Structure 1
């Protein structure tokens, strides 16, 4: 799948052109992370440093963009859907590829991850208290001529980079929220919880989740009301939304949930709440990079309460 996806975007061979870059042209940087909060923080901060920043929210998108735009620096998360960061590094830093500097970021303390980064010749910055200083050190080594701009835009360590992507659960059923929170936590995903649409709207804007999972039938507004309100705010306009329902929804309701709202996407998936949780978790895997795949069989043994 990876190879075929890349071949689609591979440019036709052209005569070699030597590009003379102006001294004032900003170095191109591609940042890839499945956590929208981290992606925004990194993109804003690096743009202020003077880099020309492009972003990707998963591994496949990162590889396609890197293949097309040929960035000089790639900042890439380890745990991402589609293709993980280390697999992307293996491709990007291959012997037949154009030179590129890669900074790998992760919340993991796994020694093997660090050793693989060193084996690729990649830089390494761990999400946590020292993240911004680690990133700054790597950028200073890669682009010493930009030292003044990089140091001038020093990011206060008080601005945290959260370690794991976050899912927002919106449901008035405590049993469901406890079950999903436990399972997601064991997958390396942080969970925020809201009991109804009103709380969900406030938390979606504040928490910047990678994806929202919401019940359809809730007090103070159903999923259609919730989705419509999400799409009217710039801060929450494009957060993917998965709708769960313990009752059969009619075709009109399904189409209303899936339709474009104010030019923005409707629900990306509508799932039965009584279904095997493996269906939900495989859907979530498209938006969040899960860490411990070894616990996946336990999902297939669990069913959501009706």
Structure 2
């Protein structure tokens, strides 16, 4: 049975590759920009759409998307709503105001907020919601945008990999009380949580889950924050994941500098926070890396009161 499954997967890959080559050789590939702050979503979308025959470029933030569209407007823009700094719908609105918006826009999000659907309609954008029906919704939107692609937009394999509906944060701390407290509050902000008790275990989880950001304690057995940072930056799959280091103890200036220094051409810790500062600081910092569900996100002062 396992051999049969492997053979089926091999044929799927061959069919998808042949389809992409045929599509690209018949005419110039349609240029697509995919924008999402969740690295796992970007990878899955990029791989699938490339197999469909699209010429794919990516961006991780709304600001990157705005700059790339302004410089080289794609044929299709696939953009997440909830992103740090500038949300996807605001990017689309700014591009339209400057007459730079791509003709074809597909908005993706895990939010069920009806205001999101209304804003999409006002912008003339198609919509695909992250969840069980995401791939069929996306393919239908692509076919509706350009009917001549209807016959070419097809599934690239027999399986449909799940698209994560919410951003994921990996918490690394050997204190179970801290883990439970942070998990509860972060989940209420629309964030999925992965957990590791130390740096050694965090490495494998980071590779599998591809979190949007890692929040780690500094002092831990079996691999502290410096160990974790060094190992993360040595692996191409995890080298770019932002890391926030927290500590209940005072860290020396030398330690702070070591944590923030560049490692193998990749950035060190994005932020170093004191746990005693109150978790409002963590909340504000995470907003730089994760797009929160708008209907579930509370103000920073509520977060702060919950912890202090």
Q: Aligning the two structures, in what range does the TM-score lie when normalised by the shorter sequence?
A: 0.7 to 0.9
Whether 1:128 aligns to 2:128 is no
Aligned runs of 1:2-21 on 2, under 5 Å? none
Corresponding residue of 1:115? 118
Aligned runs of 1:59-138 on 2, under 5 Å? 59-94=62-97, 96-97=99-100, 99-138=102-141
- 1:236 counterpart SS class: coil
Q: In structure 1, what is the Cα distance between the partners aligned to 2:163 and 2:99?
A: 34
- 1:274 counterpart SS class: helix
Deviations 1:174-225 (A, max 9, x none): 1111111111111111111111111111111111000000000001121101
Corresponding residue of 2:284? 282
Decide whether the 8 Å contact of 1:34 with 1:58 is kept in 2.
yes
Aligned runs of 1:152-163 on 2, under 5 Å? 153=156, 156-157=159-160, 159-163=161-165
Query: How far 1:85 sits from its partner (Å)?
Result: 1.4
- 2:40 counterpart SS class: helix
Decide whether the 8 Å contact of 1:45 with 1:155 is kept in 2.
no
Deviations 1:55-78 (A, max 9, x none): 111111111111111111110111
Query: How far 1:302 sits from its partner (Å)?
Result: 4.1
Aligned residues: 282
Decide whether the 8 Å contact of 1:132 with 1:155 is kept in 2.
no
TM-score, normalised by the number of residues in structure 1:
0.87
Match of 1:296 among 289, 296, 300: 300
Deviations 1:255-284 (A, max 9, x none): 211111122211111111111211111111
Unaligned runs of 5+ residues in structure 1 are: 1-21
Q: In structure 1, what is the Cα distance between the partners aligned to 2:112 and 2:151?
A: 31
- 2:305 counterpart SS class: coil
Corresponding residue of 1:185? 187
Aligned runs of 1:129-278 on 2, under 5 Å? 129-151=132-154, 153=156, 156-157=159-160, 159-278=161-280
The more displaced of 200-209 and 92-101 is: 92-101
TM-score, normalised by the number of residues in structure 2:
0.86
- 1:105 counterpart SS class: strand
Q: In structure 1, what is the Cα distance between the partners aligned to 2:139 and 2:284?
A: 36
Query: How far 1:141 sits from its partner (Å)?
Result: 2.0
Deviations 1:146-179 (A, max 9, x none): 334322525633x111110000000001111111
Q: In structure 2, what is the Cα distance between the partners aligned to 1:85 and 1:116?
A: 11
Q: In structure 1, what is the Cα distance between the partners aligned to 2:185 and 2:167?
A: 14
Q: In structure 2, what is the Cα distance between the partners aligned to 1:83 and 1:95?
A: 16
